[in-house]
Amino acid sequence: REAVAGSEMSLVCVGTPSLASGRLNLDYVRKVSEQISAAIATKGSRHVVIFRSTMLPGSTRSMVNDFLLPPRTQGNTDIYYCPEFLREGTAVKDFREPSLCVVGTHDGNAPATNEAMELLGEKAEVLAWEGAELIKYSCNYFHALKVGFANEIGRMAKFVGVDGARVMDVVCRDEKLNISRYYMKPGNPFGGSCLPKDVSALSSLARMEGVNLPLLDNVLDSNEAHLD
């Protein structure tokens, strides 16, 4: 309460660990939100709350709807969701020089006041709360896919007797198609004469030779699901 009364902004960065079921545990976020909300009520003046904890899409709005934090229309609180993009070992540097800046607002419009933009940079991307929450998961999902993909290429490279690191280094040199915006947009499933045939052929080779490439095995299934 003393901290809220003596400041203009609260950053919520508490942990959101996994439950035994695999679902997200938001108990810590909810608890601190209740405490901040109570402190704002006694403060009697405007306060900014910026969530930085990783939360699934809909979490911020759910907490506002549950009155854990008052929406702007009901009080003196401005609420933003601004995901962190920090790496272990370089977190301070990444905070000061972020690779991506995102500000989530209740309606997807730029903040009426500029505290969040000042904190994260004038070039921050502005979306609705749910969009900002999903961006964090999209980035981590993509990073996980990249790690898995590179390791699968490494296993196949080892099988055929070549240097997998060298193969991936050359793949990454193509910044027109491989390291680019190309193909990175939701839309139609892939088709044509190349991608289905080549994915199928490499997957078939891996299965025949006993090279375990589960990501590759599921690419065609994912594409068919999207087609359906």
Residue whose C-alpha is closest to residue 164's, from 174, 173, 156: 156
Within a 13 Å sphere around the CA of 125, how many CA atoms are in the beta-carbon half? 13
* Residue environment code for 24-37, b if the CB has 16+ CB neighbours within 10 A, otherwise e: bebeebbebbeebb
Residue 121, sorted as left (phi over 0), alpha (psi -120 to 50) or beta, turns out to be left
- Supply the DSSP symbol for 24: B
pLDDT at 82 over 90: yes
73 band by pLDDT with thresholds 50, 70 and 90: very low
Higher pLDDT, 76 or 178: 178
Separation CA 39–CA 204 (nearest Å): 61
- Supply the DSSP symbol for 18: B
Order of strands across the sheet that contains 125-128: 9-12, 47-51, 77-81, 102-105, 125-128
Percent with pLDDT over 70 in the chain: 91
pTM of the model: 0.88
The pLDDT score that the predictor gives to residue 91 is 92
Residue 32: both structure tokens together: 């601190």
Higher pLDDT, 40 or 122: 40
Instruction: Average the pLDDT over each of 51-60, 70-79, 86-95, 154-163 and give the range with the smallest value.
Output: 70-79
42 band by pLDDT with thresholds 50, 70 and 90: confident
- Supply the DSSP symbol for 14: -
pLDDT at 26 over 90: yes
- Compute the mean pLDDT over every residue in the chain, rounded to the nearest whole number: 90
Phi, psi of 176, rounded to the nearest 5 degrees: -90, -35
Residue 195: both structure tokens together: 């991608």
Please state the rounded mean pLDDT for residues 185-208.
94
* 139 a catalytic residue: no
